[in-house]
Structure 1
Amino acid sequence: MSDTDDTPQETPSNPTEPLRRALGSRYLQYALSTIMHRALPDARDGLKPVHRRILFAMRELRLASNGRFRKSSKISGDVMGNYHPHGDAAIYDAMARLAQDFNVRYPLVDGQGNFGNIDGDNPAASRYTEARMTMAAEVLLEGLNEDAVDYRDNYDGTLQEPIVLPAAFPNLLANGSSGIAVGMATNIPPHNIDELVAASLHLIKTPDARDETLLKYVPGPDFPTGGIIVEPKENIAKAYETGRGSFRLRAKWEVEELGRGQWQIVVTEIPYQVAKSKLIEKIAELIQTKKVPLLADIRDESADDIRVILEPRSKNVDPEVLMGMMFRNSDLEIRFSLNMNVLIDGVTPKVCSLKEVLRAFLDHRRDVLIRRSNHRLAQIDKRLEVLEGYIIAFLNLDRVIQIIRTEDDPKAVMLAEDWGGDVFLTENQCEAILNMRLRSLRKLEEMELRNERDALREERAGLVELLGSDELQWGQIADQLRDVRKQFGKGTAAGKRRTDFAEATEIEEVPLEMMIDKEPITVVCSKMGWVRAMKGHIALDSALKFKDGDEGRFVFHAETTDRLLLLGSNGRFYTITAANLPGGRGMGEPVRLMVDLPNEAEIVDLFIHRPSGKLLLASSAGDGFIAPEDEIIAQTRTGKQVLNVKGDVRALVCKAVNGDHVAVVGENRKVLVFSIEELPEMARGKGVRLQKYKDGGLSDATTFTLADGLSWKDPAGRTRTEGDLSEWIGKRATAGRMAPRGFPRDNTFT
């Protein structure tokens, strides 16, 4: 710019403001385009633009439900070239979905060839498949050639396409819809047409009907793949009232007896939009990782129908319990969300209730009825005008012939002619007479014309009466809906309800006994930590083989349904299922492969878990407490920290609580006896001081009943009992007195 240029220049105070404004306006345009022209369906016909254009293009190709098929590539090509300037792959995917009876409740496309399956396989390429419309699609399009809806220019202005389809049934709810726009989404499940028609008829009869009344007619979704809805009725009612909610949908299953007490579960219907192959793959993974111990195997025996076999691990398993676990851990139960976000009148996005969606459909049907009636009325008026001209011509046939034969411009003469009683022909009437064939000049033709005129006059009177009466209009709409019900209602094969309702049976906790056959075993654990399970209850003093340099440490009787608790010197408890122990033919396996016990930690104790039992826990430093056994069960391999230890301190004592007093002995051979009530009961912690030491630490501790005396084994292996313990009874955390004569030299009570 030159210095002499006096043109005022605007300097923005914030240089980023124009860019922000530009980005904002462009993003808003993109958002509106996505919302209105791609992601959200129209409440009137339930279709997105791509689906509407596919059906309209198929209509233009005259692919009627009783006609021929055409290549899918031809259809998708026409849609792309004429109406939808996007990728043909996206168009074909949308068309293929409309043909999938496992995705669409009432398919709008009749496909021939591989259009995908419920396993999740993709359709074949468009050049290999063929398609035509279904009867349901034809019902949606009915009335297009009768000015039922408005048209607009296509993307390049060379053709016209409908803004919305006439839609003789509430397709939005019948087939459902899903989509993600900018800042909003929609997800509508399919419903049963018979139930929707019933609700619509009730809404016509009672326009101010309540939402809960409509639920008597529409109890819930009706998925094409069936299944069982286990959502409480009050939740369903709230979802339909607010337009937001969710439905719990379960697979349908039954028990099939195999004889001799054996049985298996047969899954005959899987939840909506769950790919069968992926479902089976995930369940097989559950079996491999033993997340569902009750399940032994899964097989797919499906053909045209669904037949998935679940084999229980044992015939003693309760089928309800097994399926309860399957519902919690797999897609045999899903939660289908409801978000009825739709375009009202094709313009305004709104989350609607069931009543609002049906109201939008019925108002659209009334607009369609009025437009079709007006269109028919105009056609009748045009035809009546021509018929009146024909009748005048027949009454004055000789004069008409004379004018045509003799006049150079017969049309002008006929227009100026008075045909009797100030009766003149219109331009349209003259054109029709001049274009009439000679064979029509018969007496019989005149009678037919008069009959046709009378019939049209009667029809016209009926249309005028219809257009002037709201009651007649709604009556006509109700009749049309009843016709739809005859075509697609519950009396037809496709119209029967497929999804059932039931109350959910919840299994909170599965007893271990249900998962495993109860069998006697003998648990053997060596000093080096090799563990195994011998079949049956063998004698505990039996000679057992161990690895070189190893020896037995724990040997006790158990059942396969038992859970074993292992305490490490690090103060962590680990849980082992007895049924998972290796067999007793070899030397077993290291317990460190079964649980994450660190290499530096030693095994303090291994024993059977006693429900509701209590344990006395103590560290080498002399701190301890009472722990409930139910609180120390570990759910993972890493165990559960119960006794907190630091530095050189280690877990030392783990004894079952039996009695009312505690006896402790230190490495200094001093014994202290005190009431068990002085110890706290807790699930985790360091504990409290049991005995005071000047040097050394704790050697052993036990619980006993004071009235029965304190027992121990002398060096000869004989049990000795000290009845009078008054000399050693004191308060917790005191030093105690020297052990009685004959107390074991290893300072232990057992």
Structure 2
Amino acid sequence: MDENKNAKGEILYVPIHQEIENSYLVYSLSVIIGRAIPDVRDGLKPVHRRILYSMYDQNITYDKPTKKCARIVGDVLGKYHPHGDQAIYETLVRMAQSFSLRYPLVYGQGNFGSIDGDTPAAMRYTEAKLEKITEKLLEDLDKDTVQMRKNFDETLDEPEVLPALFPNLIVNGSEGIAVGMTTSIPPHNLGEVIDALIHLIDNPVCTSMDLLQYIKGPDFPTGGLIVYDNDMKQMYLSGKGKVLVRARISIENQEDGETIVINEIPYQENKSLIIKRIAELVKSGVIEEISNLRDESDQRGIRVIIKLKKGKNAKTVISKLYKYTNLQKYYNANIIAIHNTEPKTYDLKELLNDYFIFRKEIFVRRYNFLLKKAKDRLHILEGLLIALQRIDEVIATIRKSKDPSEAKINLMEIFSLTKIQSEAILDMRLQKLTSLEIGKIKEEHDSVFKEIERINAILKDDFSIHSEIKKELVDFKQKFGDERRTKILYDVSTEDLDVAVIKEEVVVIFTKNGYIKRVESSKFKTLNKGSKGQKGVSLEEGDSVKFILYTYTTDNLVFITSRGKAYHLLVNDLPDSEFRHHGEHISSFIKIEKGEIVNSVNIVNEFPDNHYFIFITRKGIIKKMELSLINSRKSTGITCIKLNEDDVVVDSIIMEEHEQVIIVTAMGYISRFSIDNINDIGRSAIGVKGVSLSPKDYVVNMTKVEKDKHILVVTEKGYAKRIPHDQIRLTNRGVKGVQCITNKEKAGNILTVTNVTEDDEIVIITRMGKTFKTKVANIRVQNRNTMGSRLLKLNEDDSLSDISKQMIDDEEIETKTDLTDEE
């Protein structure tokens, strides 16, 4: 009956939210259990299991010829898996790829794709059969070891799970995206897993940590290097963690310079895309040491040659390759599998233990099946022996009977035989009456009797069962075990692959279109007030400089975007660049979303108590949040503020308790109040009103009051002045503030305000990319009711983009006569 109709066939009306919830729940469970998440017992999803069972049922085993993949896919589709044929074929292909599965389950003949991302040939061209190791997943299916269920049209039986002699889930790993959850389980070395499983059988109270003495870490089919650290350990202890994976790289010394050779790449990476990325880095100037790049890979393995310019250091280049390409990446693990029709997060011990419980059940079912079969045979043999001992009487009884049915009854009554025994005697051929055949029956009887005793001895207690299971595991390991492919680095520093981060003063330049680079601070010239500056930044057409920041290579930057999200980035991870290079797009380093714009950057190396992140939006909303709330590195960013419609974050600063904030608007209004007037709130909360704005006005940025410093005010048209803090009166938040500039038509909108001292130097960048560095002492201290002095001569179509204080400079700078102030 239709679930939306009652017994009378009338349509039922239900709330739409209830129907959506119920329908979505059914859909979610269907995806989780029936499609995306593997079973902890055999490590397979339904489509994998059905492909393997179908090939087994068609007798396409390792010792038989291959068959067309189209035939295999058609059989799976028609009998067990009524979904897309292409999805079935893709699954079949992946099970045959040696770079996808640590131990492939299918042998493929033909083009099954490559590590370069080449697609496999159409299924009508390729052929396949089961691999020899797959026999151990399917072995004993005919011995009542697993439950069978009806297929989708209830015409055939299929197994709910395969018997699985080895823990395929952890050996080959698995990945899947379900509704509301994902699973990502890395592959491991078969020999190590078997050793850990045997240890668990012998020591049931052991911990996941104990098992790590056997399972050293993931063993990827593509080899590579992995770093043993706390993140990887947590993967085994909690079921969630990450593994740092690196390419295996060697250095060859030649007369014309060093050559870097890449022999193995991280798991699931595309070799061609990695090579393309390296070429882009060379072209953009991020890696300038490379003179030639070529791919010499063949059927013997990967070999990518990177020729360096003479005199260049290979280890430095390797460090850059690890930082800017996927030759180094994290494998994020989330060990989730289906257990008793429900998804469960597993640690290492639980995963192996649940498999062992299943394997023990399979073992017992198999031996109970063999025991029943042996007892049935013994019963028949005992009847045959009775008959052979009185053979003349048996023959006479049969001859006196009218038909087989009467003969069967007579045998049962005269010789006290069962129906089965009587039928076996009637079916016996005359050649069995020879003395030789009689002897064979007696031998078989004794053999079957001993087999029953052996099986009973095995099944009598857990110790015997466990011993037999261990024997099977050891035998399996000897046949299929191999050497580890992925090397584990227990002390990365000893590998001497990372170049130590040297603390150097640099300038970080960020453009309106999102391009970022770092430049040595010494490359900026020191000029005098009124000079035109140098061509400091190469820009793409239509781009302009957004901000610059004097910092150190050891600093951690926190980028705040227009949507109020925070992203972390180490300065040293930015490529060391030249003025002529555009730099790299910020999306190469942080995963900002489409339409998200970086509007602020802060140097955050520590997260002490009583320190706060202060955010200000274009519409004057201010928020105070504990700094510690962003002390985590999420690739997708950390949401720091809930925004009103059509509002964006324009600036952020870090402040301490009792400090005072200064906010300035584009039209020259400036306000000052204590952050104690703002309550600190959580990340997802909205802020409070910081300043009042005129209809066309908007907030430009903010700074804080610092003792013995002046407020530097800079306009877009190149005018600047220093204002004492006491000229900006202390008020409550939410006021409009006071004017800090006059003659705005000539001076232009306010660009920024910041704190400065006499000894500071500032670097100014224009939107056209010109740079200019001057001492703050060259800029006069004036009251707030002035226009300021011209700081920089600008072309008509240019304007200032940003300023930044230089952090240190010991040079003596000659100061020329100032230009006449324009007030």
User: CA–CA distance in 1 between the matches of 2:436 and 2:258?
Assistant: 80
User: CA–CA distance in 2 between the matches of 1:412 and 1:115?
Assistant: 64
Aligned partner of 2:94 in structure 1 is 97
Residue number among 270, 277, 280 corresponding to 2:272 in the alignment: 277
Deviation at 1:95, TM superposition (A): 0.5
User: CA–CA distance in 1 between the matches of 2:791 and 2:66?
Assistant: 90
Which is worse superposed, 223-232 or 499-508? 499-508
Which is worse superposed, 291-300 or 364-373? 291-300
Aligned partner of 1:160 in structure 2 is 157
Report whether the alignment pairs 1:387 with 2:377.
Answer: no
Aligned partner of 2:487 in structure 1 is 500
User: CA–CA distance in 2 between the matches of 1:692 and 1:18?
Assistant: 70
- Return 5+ residue gaps in structure 1 as ranges: 1-9, 490-494, 513-559, 578-590, 599-610, 612-632, 653-676, 701-709, 714-743
Structure 2 vs 1, CA of residues 570 and 426 (structure 1 numbering), >3 Å: closer, same or farther?
farther
Which is worse superposed, 270-279 or 97-106? 270-279
User: CA–CA distance in 1 between the matches of 2:293 and 2:141?
Assistant: 51
Residue number among 333, 350, 355 corresponding to 2:349 in the alignment: 355
Structure 2 vs 1, CA of residues 11 and 116 (structure 1 numbering), >3 Å: closer, same or farther?
closer
Asked if the contact 1:150–1:164 (Cα under 8 Å) also holds between the matched residues in 2, the reply is yes
Residue number among 234, 240, 249 corresponding to 1:238 in the alignment: 234
Deviation at 1:102, TM superposition (A): 0.5
Q: 2:125 is aligned with what amino acid? A: Y
SS at match of 1:253: strand
Aligned partner of 1:488 in structure 2 is 480
Aligned partner of 1:21 in structure 2 is 18
User: CA–CA distance in 1 between the matches of 2:24 and 2:60?
Assistant: 39
Asked if the contact 1:380–1:456 (Cα under 8 Å) also holds between the matched residues in 2, the reply is yes
Report whether the alignment pairs 1:57 with 2:54.
Answer: yes
Report whether the alignment pairs 1:563 with 2:523.
Answer: yes
CA deviation profile, 1:560-600 (whole Å, cap 9, x unmatched): 998354769799977859xxxxxxxxxxxxx88999899xx
Asked if the contact 1:52–1:165 (Cα under 8 Å) also holds between the matched residues in 2, the reply is yes
SS at match of 1:55: helix
Report whether the alignment pairs 1:258 with 2:218.
Answer: no
Which is worse superposed, 455-464 or 42-51? 455-464
User: CA–CA distance in 2 between the matches of 1:597 and 1:568?
Assistant: 23
Residue number among 222, 226, 230 corresponding to 1:225 in the alignment: 222
Structure 2 vs 1, CA of residues 711 and 222 (structure 1 numbering), >3 Å: closer, same or farther?
closer
Asked if the contact 2:183–2:336 (Cα under 8 Å) also holds between the matched residues in 1, the reply is yes
Deviation at 1:109, TM superposition (A): 0.3
Report whether the alignment pairs 1:434 with 2:426.
Answer: yes
Structure 2 vs 1, CA of residues 139 and 697 (structure 1 numbering), >3 Å: closer, same or farther?
closer
Deviation at 1:425, TM superposition (A): 1.2
Report whether the alignment pairs 1:646 with 2:715.
Answer: yes
Structure 2 vs 1, CA of residues 575 and 405 (structure 1 numbering), >3 Å: closer, same or farther?
farther
Structure 2 vs 1, CA of residues 294 and 561 (structure 1 numbering), >3 Å: closer, same or farther?
farther
Q: 2:248 is aligned with what amino acid? A: K
Aligned partner of 2:394 in structure 1 is 400
Deviation at 1:174, TM superposition (A): 0.6
User: CA–CA distance in 2 between the matches of 1:711 and 1:482?
Assistant: 82
Asked if the contact 2:140–2:366 (Cα under 8 Å) also holds between the matched residues in 1, the reply is yes
Q: 1:679 is aligned with what amino acid? A: E
Residue number among 197, 213, 221 corresponding to 2:194 in the alignment: 197
Report whether the alignment pairs 1:328 with 2:320.
Answer: no
User: CA–CA distance in 2 between the matches of 1:244 and 1:573?
Assistant: 53
Residue number among 358, 361, 374 corresponding to 1:364 in the alignment: 358
CA deviation profile, 1:275-333 (whole Å, cap 9, x unmatched): 11111112212222222223333211111110011122x33222221111111100111
Q: TM-score of the superposition, structure 1-length normalised?
A: 0.69
Asked if the contact 1:284–1:297 (Cα under 8 Å) also holds between the matched residues in 2, the reply is no
SS at match of 2:252: strand
Aligned partner of 2:594 in structure 1 is none
User: CA–CA distance in 1 between the matches of 2:163 and 2:486?
Assistant: 28
User: CA–CA distance in 1 between the matches of 2:582 and 2:40?
Assistant: 55
Structure 2 vs 1, CA of residues 698 and 205 (structure 1 numbering), >3 Å: closer, same or farther?
closer
Report whether the alignment pairs 1:339 with 2:339.
Answer: no
Which is worse superposed, 314-323 or 500-509? 500-509
Residue number among 277, 292, 296 corresponding to 2:291 in the alignment: 296
CA deviation profile, 1:704-732 (whole Å, cap 9, x unmatched): xxxxxx9999xxxxxxxxxxxxxxxxxxx
Structure 2 vs 1, CA of residues 299 and 416 (structure 1 numbering), >3 Å: closer, same or farther?
same
Q: 1:473 is aligned with what amino acid? A: I
Report whether the alignment pairs 1:37 with 2:116.
Answer: no
Deviation at 1:510, TM superposition (A): 7.6
CA deviation profile, 1:606-661 (whole Å, cap 9, x unmatched): xxxxx9xxxxxxxxxxxxxxxxxxxxx99877999998643765689xxxxxxxxx
User: CA–CA distance in 2 between the matches of 1:277 and 1:296?
Assistant: 19
Structure 2 vs 1, CA of residues 301 and 561 (structure 1 numbering), >3 Å: closer, same or farther?
farther
User: CA–CA distance in 2 between the matches of 1:486 and 1:253?
Assistant: 31
Structure 2 vs 1, CA of residues 337 and 417 (structure 1 numbering), >3 Å: closer, same or farther?
same
Report whether the alignment pairs 1:681 with 2:778.
Answer: no
Structure 2 vs 1, CA of residues 646 and 400 (structure 1 numbering), >3 Å: closer, same or farther?
same
Aligned partner of 1:307 in structure 2 is 303
Residue number among 68, 74, 78 corresponding to 1:77 in the alignment: 74
CA deviation profile, 1:492-546 (whole Å, cap 9, x unmatched): xxx110000123343355899xxxxxxxxxxxxxxxxxxxxxxxxxxxxxxxxxx
SS at match of 1:223: coil
SS at match of 1:99: coil
Asked if the contact 1:190–1:222 (Cα under 8 Å) also holds between the matched residues in 2, the reply is yes
Deviation at 1:403, TM superposition (A): 2.8
- Return 5+ residue gaps in structure 2 as ranges: 1-9, 505-519, 546-552, 554-575, 584-600, 602-700, 702-710, 722-755, 765-774, 793-812
**Matched positions, count:** 574
For the aligned residues, what is the CA RMSD? 4.1
Asked if the contact 2:258–2:312 (Cα under 8 Å) also holds between the matched residues in 1, the reply is no
Asked if the contact 1:566–1:575 (Cα under 8 Å) also holds between the matched residues in 2, the reply is no
SS at match of 2:715: coil
SS at match of 1:123: coil
User: CA–CA distance in 1 between the matches of 2:127 and 2:279?
Assistant: 36
Q: 1:370 is aligned with what amino acid? A: V
Aligned partner of 1:409 in structure 2 is 403
Matches within 5 A, 1:99-178: 99-178=96-175
Q: TM-score of the superposition, structure 2-length normalised?
A: 0.64
User: CA–CA distance in 2 between the matches of 1:297 and 1:711?
Assistant: 46
Structure 2 vs 1, CA of residues 745 and 164 (structure 1 numbering), >3 Å: closer, same or farther?
closer
Aligned partner of 1:267 in structure 2 is 262
Residue number among 158, 180, 184 corresponding to 1:183 in the alignment: 180
User: CA–CA distance in 1 between the matches of 2:318 and 2:233?
Assistant: 27
Matches within 5 A, 1:541-560: none
User: CA–CA distance in 2 between the matches of 1:568 and 1:682?
Assistant: 11
Determine what percentage of the aligned residue pairs are the same residue. Answer: 38
SS at match of 2:95: helix
Asked if the contact 1:415–1:425 (Cα under 8 Å) also holds between the matched residues in 2, the reply is no
Deviation at 1:74, TM superposition (A): 0.6
Aligned partner of 1:530 in structure 2 is none
Deviation at 1:139, TM superposition (A): 0.6
Q: 1:132 is aligned with what amino acid? A: K
Asked if the contact 1:240–1:354 (Cα under 8 Å) also holds between the matched residues in 2, the reply is yes
Deviation at 1:238, TM superposition (A): 1.5
Deviation at 1:71, TM superposition (A): 0.6
Q: 1:480 is aligned with what amino acid? A: E
